[in-house]
Structure 1
Amino acid sequence: MAKLSLRRPDTQATASMVLSLSALFFSVGLVVILFPRFDTDNNIIWYKSGGPRHMAVLGCTAISLLLGVLGFGFGLNSAGARRNERNSQSWLGFFAGAAAITLTVILFAAFYLLKQSVA
């Protein structure tokens, strides 16, 4: 029975792709959580401090950043390796991780700067 070894570049490529696509999933979840509460007239995101939506934003941000950084790192490490038979997965993980990190940082900055607590 083969064990999972993250020393092999092809295993890193697969892990990179899975982690980065999972990070993108949580980034899209962050969009779904934030934009129904966005008031375009006043440029405000309404939320209840300590409420479930606020905690969901913080949780999705943390999970997406963690998965995105891991996927980005694995993709960067395994892309171009001589023994890597899955270079396309490495590059997909690399760029998807970078996109997830960027999208998450932008969305969290928008939430942090535009938030308005509901009493």
Structure 2
Amino acid sequence: MKPATAAKKLDVYLPATPAEFQKTAITRDELAALQADPPQWLQELRKNGPHPKNLVAAKLGVSIAGLARGGVTEALTTEEIDVLLADKPDWLVSERESYQNVLREERRLKAVRSEQAAEK
């Protein structure tokens, strides 16, 4: 598989991976080996980042679109995420609230659909 696909499956930011990883196709067996026994560089990336946007959004409790609206366009490190969580800028508070509202509505709709399916 392409390095970008492997990085996505490993939940790491591709540009932060070693050059060899970025330039070499990864087999499924190699991916499984990396997941089972991650090398030091992979452990460090997972712990300290920089993290891909999907993980940054999850750690901040917002959507990826919410990150963009908040001006976050680059990958963030764990330290940078912790600073945002401690400072709680206005955009983050607003986006977290909005994201929770969306999740609540999705759960409500799922319950309604489930009830409708049970009635049939």
TM-score (normalizing by structure 2): 0.32
* Structure index of larger Rg: 2
